[in-house]
């Protein structure tokens, strides 16, 4: 531990719960860093410093001491629970910091809060950076994926520090300046939405292999380990195998059978869907994952419905290709979920005026974060080939992957439906794909209905203009001024 006193730390961390402590230790482990650490209750600071005498920490008991221990421009990363606690720390630091100093919020903040905070802090001359940090506790310690927003000027100072602690894939650190103000937290929010979709799809694959395939959790763990050697290679597939292999010490049963089947959430998946709705971007895969957790958490509806319904459908008989069908359905559904997530990034960037490099986002998600996967390299390639591709689903690689897996995907969804096994993720992804692929959609009928009851007007396929049919009159058509939307 370094001596306290004069400004000697080049970076500081405020908030020393698990994520903050691990990030501080990660920073301290990198050559050249001296890390100022501060927590509201000083016991936690003492504990961290006491447990890690090897780390180059400068500990402070007050926020004033903390600010004084930082070299200029002062750079402090706040790692407190998102919400009002963050606002309190920001106002304390803003009062002590000087123009040019940098406050980083490394929590899972709502990007709208980040936009607001950035504006308020910038007015004082201090830089404010909202940075999404993904990778959980281990990532924070060993190398997360980092998604900073804020000004270009702030990134000049901050970038090298963040690059020194981020995960590295193929020599490239998993951090990039995402865009101004809330861009980093927006992209982290979408990351979490995709994370929800990915987890739900994997869970559906497991459920099918168990209930239709008749395999044990341990056998399915082996299947996932196998899949992890191919196109599906990812952190979430890897940990799924580990969770499925776990045996409960108390009962000797598979761990997955003793855990209550009601999934919780902290809200970032919900934010993704709320924002996608506002942006008008269909993110059905993410929404179904959020809803699936919600459905699971309503035993007061599940239990009586089960009782009212009696026997469940018989499980459909499947052939020996079923396991591989599930793998292909999982891959195709995953492509859809990522395509939808990137559509939301594109729409958010447009609405909030951010210049977001989609390829750079896929690049920094290849390591450190929860959705890290082999697959992200294909997304990097897709955007390198055509930065304005209308959907990832038309990229030649993904188009072929989906076409190759399409019949398997359909077999899996129909088998699930016949067997009474819920696959909201697989089914909604397939319907989304079919919607984009259909030459005509029944949206024409919806337009007719809207025009009938509300004179909302419509456009025609064969001539320009906006029209209305006089439904309650002689049902002739008139051209109108309005828009048909």
State the residues that interact with ligand 6PG by CB under 6 A.
108, 134-136, 192, 195, 265-266, 268-269, 369-370
Query: Would you state the torsion angle of the CA atoms of residues 49, 54, 55, 56, taken in this order, to the nearest 10 degrees?
Result: 110
Alpha helices for 97-182 (secondary structure H): 111-122, 136-142, 152-165
- Nearer Cβ to ligand 6PG, position 19 or 232? 19
Rounded to whole angstroms, how far apart are CA atoms 199 and 288?
11
Q: By the 8 A CB rule, do 132 and 187 touch?
A: yes
Q: How far is CA 39 from CA 60, 73, 396, in A?
A: 8, 21, 51
* Catalytic (active site) residue 195: yes
Q: How far is CA 80 from CA 90, 107, 141, 325, in A?
A: 11, 6, 16, 44
Q: Give every CB contact of residue 269 below 8 A, 6+ residues apart in sequence.
A: 192, 193, 195, 196, 286, 289, 290, 293
Closest CA to 394 of 474, 457, 336: 336
- Nearer Cβ to ligand 6PG, position 235 or 433? 235
Residue showing the smallest CB distance to ligand 6PG in the complex: 134
Judging by beta carbons within 10 Å of its beta carbon (0-12, 13-18, 19+), is residue 198 exposed, middle or buried? Answer: buried
In the complex, what is the shortest distance from the CB of residue 133 to ligand 6PG, in angstroms, rounded to a whole number? Answer: 7
Closest CA to 228 of 216, 215, 242: 242
* Residues linked to residue 173 through DSSP beta bridges, in sequence order: 168
Q: By the 8 A CB rule, do 136 and 361 touch?
A: no
- Nearer Cβ to ligand 6PG, position 193 or 405? 193
Closest CA to 269 of 338, 341, 196: 196
Closest CA to 189 of 268, 112, 117: 268
Catalytically annotated residue among 31, 54, 153, 195: 195
Closest CA to 106 of 173, 169, 21: 21
- Nearer Cβ to ligand 6PG, position 260 or 463? 260
* Catalytic (active site) residue 188: yes
Closest CA to 408 of 318, 317, 288: 318
- Nearer Cβ to ligand 6PG, position 368 or 405? 368
In the complex, what is the shortest distance from the CB of residue 478 to ligand 6PG, in angstroms, rounded to a whole number? Answer: 51
Rounded to whole angstroms, how far apart are CA atoms 476 and 59?
80
- Nearer Cβ to ligand 6PG, position 194 or 401? 194
Catalytically annotated residue among 72, 156, 188, 400: 188
- Nearer Cβ to ligand 6PG, position 175 or 369? 369
Place of tokens 């939405």: 193
Task: Look up residue 395 and give its two tokens.
Answer: 């990229």
In the complex, what is the shortest distance from the CB of residue 228 to ligand 6PG, in angstroms, rounded to a whole number? Answer: 20
- Nearer Cβ to ligand 6PG, position 192 or 323? 192
Instruction: Count CB neighbours of 14 within 10 A.
Output: 29
**12 backbone dihedrals φ, ψ, rounded to 5°:** -135, 155
Which residues does the annotation mark as catalytic? 188, 195
């Amino acid at each position: 531990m370094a001596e306290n006193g004069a400004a000697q730390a080049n970076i500081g961390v405020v908030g020393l719960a698990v994520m903050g402590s691990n990030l501080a230790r990660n920073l301290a482990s990198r050559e050249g860093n001296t890390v100022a650490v501060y927590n509201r209750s000083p016991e936690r600071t003492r504990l961290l410093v006491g447990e890690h005498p090897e780390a180059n920490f400068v500990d402070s008991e007050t926020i004033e001491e903390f600010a004084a221990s930082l070299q200029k421009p002062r750079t402090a990363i706040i790692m407190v629970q998102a919400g009002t606690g963050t606002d309190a720390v920001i106002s304390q630091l803003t009062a002590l910091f000087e123009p040019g100093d940098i406050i980083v919020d490394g929590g899972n903040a709502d990007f709208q809060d980040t936009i607001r905070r950035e504006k308020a802090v910038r007015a004082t001359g201090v830089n404010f950076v909202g940075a999404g940090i993904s990778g959980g506790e281990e990532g924070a310690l060993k190398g997360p994926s980092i998604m900073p927003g804020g000004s270009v000027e702030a990134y000049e100072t901050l970038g090298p520090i963040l690059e020194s602690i981020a995960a590295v894939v193929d020599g490239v650190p998993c951090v990039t300046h995402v865009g101004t103000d809330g861009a980093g937290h927006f992209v982290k929010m979408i990351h979490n939405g995709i994370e929800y979709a990915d987890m739900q799809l994997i869970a559906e694959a497991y459920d099918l292999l168990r209930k239709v395939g008749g395999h044990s959790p341990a056998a399915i763990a082996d299947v996932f380990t196998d899949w992890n050697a191919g196109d599906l290679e990812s952190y979430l597939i890897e940990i799924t195998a580990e969770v499925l292999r776990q045996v409960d010490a108390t009962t000797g049963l598979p761990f997955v059978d003793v855990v209550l089947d009601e999934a919780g959430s902290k809200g970032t998946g919900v934010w993704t869907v709320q924002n996608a709705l506002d942006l008008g971007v269909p993110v059905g895969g993410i929404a179904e994952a959020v809803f699936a957790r919600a459905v699971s958490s309503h035993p007061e509806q599940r239990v009586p419905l089960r009782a009212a319904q009696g026997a469940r459908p018989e499980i459909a008989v499947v052939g020996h290709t079923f396991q591989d069908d599930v793998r292909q359905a999982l891959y195709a559904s995953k492509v859809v979920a990522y395509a939808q997530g990137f559509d939301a990034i594109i729409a958010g960037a447009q609405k909030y005026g951010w210049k977001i490099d989609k390829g750079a986002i896929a690049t920094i998600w290849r390591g450190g974060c929860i959705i890290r996967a082999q697959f992200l390299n294909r997304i990097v390639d897709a955007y390198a080939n055509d930065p304005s591709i209308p959907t990832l689903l038309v990229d030649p690689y993904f188009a072929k992957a989906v076409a190759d897996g399409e019949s398997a995907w359909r077999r899996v969804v129909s088998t699930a439906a016949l067997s009474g096994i819920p696959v909201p993720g697989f089914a909604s992804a397939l319907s989304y794909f079919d919607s984009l692929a259909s030459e005509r959609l029944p949206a024409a009928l919806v337009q007719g209905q809207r025009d009938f009851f509300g004179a909302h007007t419509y456009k025609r396929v064969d001539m320009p203009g906006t029209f209305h049919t006089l439904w309650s009159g002689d049902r002739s058509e008139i051209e109108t001024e309005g828009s048909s939307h």
